[in-house]
């Protein structure tokens, strides 16, 4: 029973939140005359001492005391005697743990947001550096149209901005204080829940005592937001792996973010990217695990909810490491702009520009222009040439009205420069967007 019931092995991580919430509760009890002000002061001093001991690593935790809340209360009783026994007046471990857990998740969100903003700064900075560096743009991992490397990096800035928005939204919803809901029904003591909420920097107390202790949707929303964030980091990591590979060689990473092989001395493996990609599974698993724990629970509290913390702690540790690694890789990578430019012009990447020219200059319907361009591409493929290398008479054999002017749109530089629609890859737009993000993130 002790082995399955004990949680101090992992919920000790909540010690700072538990002490903070207990201090707020004791101060409120004293202010309301529910306990003597001298007892409230003794509790405050005792909790401070315990916090110092835990921070110093000298506090002794006991499995027999089950969890962080009981361990701290037992330690407080040993220090100040009967005054400590008054701390639990008008509260239950149910609202106590719900409060501590909200405080933890709120703090974790703030830390993750800071890391997201740091990664966004890293990406926007490299985007500004490479606003005009052309590279192949892909669909289906096949060459599609040329873009700039800066434009590609800014796509991840936009994704991360939405990730940050989801976390801010989750933070706003969780920022209500359950303390005072007690076991499930509230309390008959004349407590001031607004006082404790304010002391703990919550926006307000929770409105329903049953809901306060029986739901963990704030943790689920946090894990959901982390899962989407992890998916975005995994996609970027996958691209870093591809860009580093020998067939592409678009970027390289230094020894700081790669590892060697135990047998092949030439290897430089992008393991930081691969592990970031892999840790996504742990974060997804945390979300699915907690959803499964919660799906069948009747109100109010059930001990099943003890399983809420480990997936949140694990996902927080994983995403923190992944964000740090990704920011490091973005700042570390060396970009081979010449290689990017060479590949950007391969694979008939300006075929769409040819089709657009046929529409714009010759007035053809786009579907007809698409068909004609496909025939010209087939001819170039047969001749083992790229579109800009074809002769005018070759193209005129398929569409006689094509003129020498068409070659002005067939270069990679002309292609990216022409993409001036809002959100397009034109270097001037990319530079402006990178500057806008850097200013916003300063």
Which of 322, 295, 103 shows the shortest CA–CA distance to 229? 322
Give every CB contact of residue 288 below 8 A, 6+ residues apart in sequence: none
- Cα 167 versus chain centre, distance: 8
CA distance 361 to 363: 6
Which of 168, 102, 107 shows the shortest CA–CA distance to 308? 102
Angle at 406 between CA 412 and CA 339, to 5 degrees: 15
- Please state the φ and ψ torsions of residue 57, each to the nearest 5 degrees: 80, 20
Residue 215 corresponds to which tokens in the numbers above? 């739901």
Give every CB contact of residue 371 below 8 A, 6+ residues apart in sequence: none
Say if CB 202 and CB 176 are below 8 A apart.
Answer: yes
Residue 18 corresponds to which tokens in the numbers above? 């538990």
**Catalytic positions:** 140, 261
DSSP, res 191: -
What would the DSSP string read from start to end of 185-196? T--SS---HHHH
Residue 316 corresponds to which tokens in the numbers above? 């927080």
Half-sphere exposure of 176 (CA within 13 A, CB side): 17
The terminus-to-terminus CA distance of the chain in angstroms comes to 53
CA distance 381 to 122: 40
Give Cα separations from 341 to 136, 144, 152, 244, 416 (angstroms).
8, 14, 14, 16, 12
Of how many residues is the chain composed? 442
Sign of the alpha-carbon torsion through 333, 334, 340, 342: negative
CA distance 21 to 94: 13
CA distance 342 to 134: 9
Half-sphere exposure of 383 (CA within 13 A, CB side): 16
Residue 9 corresponds to which tokens in the numbers above? 């092995």
Angle at 91 between CA 87 and CA 92, to 5 degrees: 110
């Amino acid at each position: 029973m002790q082995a399955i019931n004990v949680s101090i092995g992992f919920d000790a991580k909540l010690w700072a939140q538990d002490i903070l919430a207990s201090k707020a509760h004791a101060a409120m009890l004293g202010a309301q005359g529910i306990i003597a002000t001298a007892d409230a002061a003794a509790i405050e001093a005792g909790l401070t001492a315990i916090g110092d001991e835990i921070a110093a690593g000298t506090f002794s935790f006991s499995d027999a005391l089950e969890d962080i809340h009981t361990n701290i209360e037992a330690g407080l009783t040993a220090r100040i005697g009967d005054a400590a026994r008054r701390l639990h007046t008008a509260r239950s471990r149910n609202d106590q743990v719900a409060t501590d857990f909200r405080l933890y998740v709120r703090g974790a969100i703030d830390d993750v947001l800071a890391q997201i903003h740091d990664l966004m700064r890293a990406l926007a900075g490299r985007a500004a550096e490479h606003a005009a560096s052309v590279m192949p743009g892909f669909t289906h991992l096949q060459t599609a149209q040329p873009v700039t490397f800066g434009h590609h990096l800014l796509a991840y800035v936009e994704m991360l901005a939405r990730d940050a928005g989801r976390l801010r939204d989750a933070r706003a919803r969780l920022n209500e204080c359950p303390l005072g809901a007690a076991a499930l029904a509230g309390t008959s003591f004349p407590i001031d829940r607004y006082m404790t909420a304010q002391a703990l920097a919550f926006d307000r107390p929770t409105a329903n005592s049953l809901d306060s202790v029986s739901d963990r949707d704030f943790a689920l929303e946090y894990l959901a937001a982390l899962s989407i964030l992890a998916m975005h980091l995994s996609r970027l990591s996958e691209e870093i792996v591809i860009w580093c590979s020998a067939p592409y060689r678009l970027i390289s990473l230094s020894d700081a973010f790669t590892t060697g092989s135990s047998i092949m001395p030439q290897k430089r493996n992008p393991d930081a990217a691969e592990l970031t990609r892999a840790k996504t599974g742990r974060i997804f698993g945390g979300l699915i695990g907690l959803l499964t724990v919660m799906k069948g629970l009747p109100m109010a509290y059930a001990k099943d909810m003890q399983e809420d913390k480990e997936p949140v702690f694990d996902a927080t540790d994983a995403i923190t490491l992944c964000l740090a690694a990704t920011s490091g890789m973005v700042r570390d990578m060396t970009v081979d702009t010449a290689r990017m430019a060479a590949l950007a012009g391969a694979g008939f990447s300006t075929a769409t520009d040819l089709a657009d020219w046929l529409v714009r200059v010759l007035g053809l319907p786009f579907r007809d222009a698409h068909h004609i361009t496909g025939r010209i591409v087939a001819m170039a493929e047969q001749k083992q040439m790229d579109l800009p290398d074809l002769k005018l008479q070759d193209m005129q054999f398929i569409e006689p009205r094509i003129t020498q002017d068409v070659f002005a749109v067939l270069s990679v530089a002309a292609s990216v420069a022409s993409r001036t629609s809002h959100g397009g890859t034109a270097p001037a737009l990319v530079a402006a967007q990178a500057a806008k993000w850097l200013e916003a993130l300063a």
